[in-house]
Amino acid sequence: MPRTADSALLRALRGDRPAHTPVWFMRQAGRSLPEYRELRVGTRMLDACLDPALAAEITLQPVRRHGVDAAIFFSDIVVPLRLAGVEVEIQPGRGPVFADPVRTRDDVARLTSIEPASVAAAAGPVRDAVGIVVEELGDTPLIGFAGAPFTLAAYLVEGGPSKEHLRARAMMHADPEAWHGLAGWLAQVSAAFLGAQIEAGASAVQLFDSWAGSLSPADYRAFVAPHSRAALEGLGDIPRIHFGVGTGPILADMRLDGLADAVGVDWRMPLDEAAAVLGGRTTVQGNIDPALLTAPWPVLEAHVGDVVARGRAARAHVVNLGHGVPPETDPDVLTRIVGLVHSLQP
C-alpha cells in the first residue's frame, strides 16, 4: 500500500504520532447525508451494498464532504451471509431479519455446510466497488468492514435484532459444540469478506463486534474472543481495528493478545483510562459521545478537545465517535469536528 502508508490513519494504527490526529466517523457513509438519502431512493439496502458503482459512490461521499482521514467501506454486517446464499433482508427501522433463524444443532449444521470460500467467490461486486473507491481515494486509506462472529450470531440465532441477545448467549451454554461450530464458521465468513476487500485495495480493516458488551468477561473469553481472533488472523500484514460498545470490562481482552492494532472505545470510558487498561501497546479509537452532536458548539468543542487531550495518554489515537453517526445528525457538525481535530495539537 505505497500510496496510503504515510497517511495519518496508517501511521496512528502503527503507533506513530502523525502531524495531525486522524479522524473518521463510524457510519459516516450513509443515513446522515442528504446526498446519500437521494442516491438510495428506490434501492433496497442490500442491493445498494452489492451495486459496485453505488456502494463506491456512497463510500466516497463523506470523504469529499467532511475531509475525513479515511473512508469506511459502505456495507452491512450481513452482506457476507447474503453472498453465502443465506436469506436475509434489512427491514428499514428494524434491521437485519433472517428467513430461517439458526437455533438448533441441525440449523447450525445446515448453515455451516456452506463452504466459506463461496463468500470469496461471490464477492465480485465488493471487489469492484473497493477498486473504484481506492482509485478515487489516492493516498487516503480505505478501511475494510466486517461484523464479528458474536454480533453476527446475535442476529442469526434470534432471527433479527434483539436487546440482550438471549438466544445466542443461551446457545453458548446450552450447546457449546453448536455454538463453536456456528461462531467458527462465521469467523471464516468474516475473514473471507475482509480478504476480498484487502485484495481489492483496502489499507486497514475494522471488525465490528457491536454487541460484545452484553457478555460477561468470562463468556467473552471462552465463547467469543477465539472466534474474533480467527476472523482477523491470516489477513496478512494489514492494520486491524477492533470495535464494540459497552466493552469497558472486556477492553483488554479486545486487544486479542496484540492482534488488534487499535481498539475502539465507546463514550462511557475516558480514553486515558482506556489507554491505561490497554497498556500502551495499542492505539485507541474514539470516543466522542454521539449524544453531544446536538449540543451547542462550545459544549461539543470542549468535549472534542477533552477527547483529544485524553487520547494523548495512548501510544496513538484515531478520533471517532463512541458509536455510529445517529441518523438525524447535522452533517455540518461532523465537518466542523474534522476541522477542529485537525487544528489541535496531536
User: Which segments are annotated as binding site?
Assistant: 27-31, 76, 155, 210, 323
Instruction: Give the nearer residue to its own copies in terms of CB position, either 62 or 290.
Output: 290
> Phi/psi zone of residue 320: left (φ > 0), alpha (ψ -120 to 50 degrees), beta?
beta
Number of residues this chain uses to bind its own copies (CB under 8 A): 33
Active site residue 155: yes
User: What does the alpha-carbon distance between residue 288 and residue 2 come to, in Å, rounded to a whole number?
Assistant: 31
- Of 17, 20, 229, 268, the one binding its own copies by CB under 8 A: 268
- Choosing from 173, 177, 280, 281, the residue that interacts with its own copies (CB under 8 A) is 173
Q: Which residues are annotated as a binding site for substrate?
A: 27-31, 76, 155, 210, 323
Whether omega for the bond prior to residue 287 falls within 30 degrees of 0, making it cis, is yes
Q: How far is the CB of 163 from its own copies (least distance, A)?
A: 9
Q: Considering only CA atoms, give the Rg of the chain.
A: 19
Q: Cβ 104 to its own copies, closest distance in Å?
A: 12
DSSP E strand stretches across 17-166: 71-72, 88-91, 95-98, 142-147
Are the C-beta atoms of 23 and 67 separated by less than 8 Å? Answer: no
Of 95 and 131, the one with the shorter C-beta distance to its own copies is: 95
| Residue 76 is among the residues annotated as catalytic for this protein | yes
Active-site position among 69, 76, 266, 289? 76
**Span of 105-113, 122-130, 143-151, 166-174 interacting with its own copies by CB under 8 A:** 166-174
Q: From CA 187, how far away is CA 201, in angstroms rounded?
A: 21
Binding mask 274-293 for its own copies (x = CB under 8 A): ---------------xxxxx
**Is 312 a residue of the active site?**
no
Per the residue annotation, which of 17, 40, 268, 312 is the catalytic one?
Answer: 40
Q: Based on CB atoms, which residue is closest to its own copies, 91 or 216? A: 216
CA distances from residue 68 to 36, 145, 287 in whole angstroms, order as listed: 17, 17, 16
> Grid coordinates 505505497 are at which residue?
2
Strand ranges (E), the chain: 71-72, 88-91, 95-98, 142-147, 204-208, 240-243, 262-264, 283-288, 317-321
Footprint on residues 202-241 left by its own copies (CB under 8 A): 213-218
Query: Among residues 7, 9, 27, 21, which one has the least CA distance to residue 208?
Result: 27
Query: Which residues contribute to the site for its own copies (CB under 8 A)?
Result: 164-167, 169-170, 173-174, 213-218, 246, 248-249, 267-270, 289-296, 299, 303, 323, 326
Active site residues: 27, 31, 40, 76, 155
